Homo-oligomer: A and B are copies of this chain.
Amino acid sequence: MKLLSETKTLTAAACNAQMELPLQSLVREIIDAATDHANALGFGYDRLLANGNAWVLSRLCVEMQRFPAVGDTYTLTTWIEATNRHFSTRNFEITDSNGTTLGHSRTVWAGIDIKTRRSVDLTGLQSLVDMSLDRQCPVAPPARLRFASRNPIVTPYTVQVSDIDSNRHLTTARYVELAVNCLSLDDYDRCFPGRFDISFMKECRFGEALDISHSLDGSTLDVAIANSAGETCCDARIILTER
């Protein structure tokens, strides 16, 4: 029970233009697997909500040697690395049907009081603390991105109905899409996102006017999403790997 594995097959309908699993879909599946595991262990959204709390994703990274291609069967395995007062860290391994590693992900989650939006002490969830597993995850933790200055290329974006999740915020997979969309189809044909980091600072709501600023320097794409008050909502970085 300390490990949860979910196996999927990539259909043509779920592929991107490169006939691979899109990064944003992988991130959605990572969050779904985290949700399923937390529910199975009895500290999912419902359990937290009963106490007026909710899980929020603080940081995430994904590092892939290769993305699943059309027709591939692949498995996501997730486990909890550790839990302290402020954060619970949950890792993932993505393997192909032979058990060969395709990549890893690390996620950092906080519990918050849904009224005050302040963090709650996670060590009160003893069953969560007890679920830590000493298993290797050989990739660097999610970077704490804080871009010193705004990136030079700025695209305005207004948050739409289809972007909003059950928390009434811009949904995580959509942040990933907004970052990916700073690339051209040519960039994506030439490279794949070998490493992706994202840090969340502030939630975006329906109708908010955002500035998505980015710079692409060699293989490094930096993206910052800021609101109209000039506050950074999230920072993301994609390191491109040549195909």
Complex Cα gap A46–B177 (Å): 28
The residues of B that contact A15 with a CB separation of less than 8 Å are: 165-166
The residues of B that contact A14 with a CB separation of less than 8 Å are: 32
Known pairs A11-B36, A32-B14, A206-B17; A162 contacts B185 (CB<8 A): no
Contact of A161 among B45, B70, B162, B188 (CB under 8 A): B188
Are A16 and B185 in touch, CB under 8 angstroms? no
Q: What is the minimal beta-carbon distance from A129 to any residue of chain B, in angstroms?
A: 23
Are B206 and A166 in touch, CB under 8 angstroms? no
Within 8 A of B (CB), among A194-241: 206-207
Quick one: which of A14, A70, A166, A177 has the most chain B CB within 10 A? A166
A160 at the interface (CB under 8 A from B): yes
Contact with B along A156-199 (1 / 0, CB 8 A): 00001110111010000000010011011100100000000000
Are A70 and B24 in touch, CB under 8 angstroms? no
A22 at the interface (CB under 8 A from B): yes
Complex Cα gap A177–B177 (Å): 14
CB closest residue in chain B, given A181:
B160
Q: What is the minimal beta-carbon distance from A212 to any residue of chain B, in angstroms?
A: 11
Are A162 and B13 in touch, CB under 8 angstroms? no
Are B206 and A164 in touch, CB under 8 angstroms? no
The residues of B that contact A164 with a CB separation of less than 8 Å are: 16-17, 185
When A and B form their complex, which 5 residue pairs have the shortest distance between CB atoms, in order from nearest? A160-B181, A162-B177, A15-B166, A185-B206, A17-B164
* A and B contact pairs by CB, cutoff 8 A, 15 listed: A11-B35, A12-B35, A13-B28, A13-B35, A15-B165, A16-B161, A17-B164, A17-B166, A160-B177, A162-B180, A168-B185, A184-B206, A184-B207, A185-B206, A185-B207
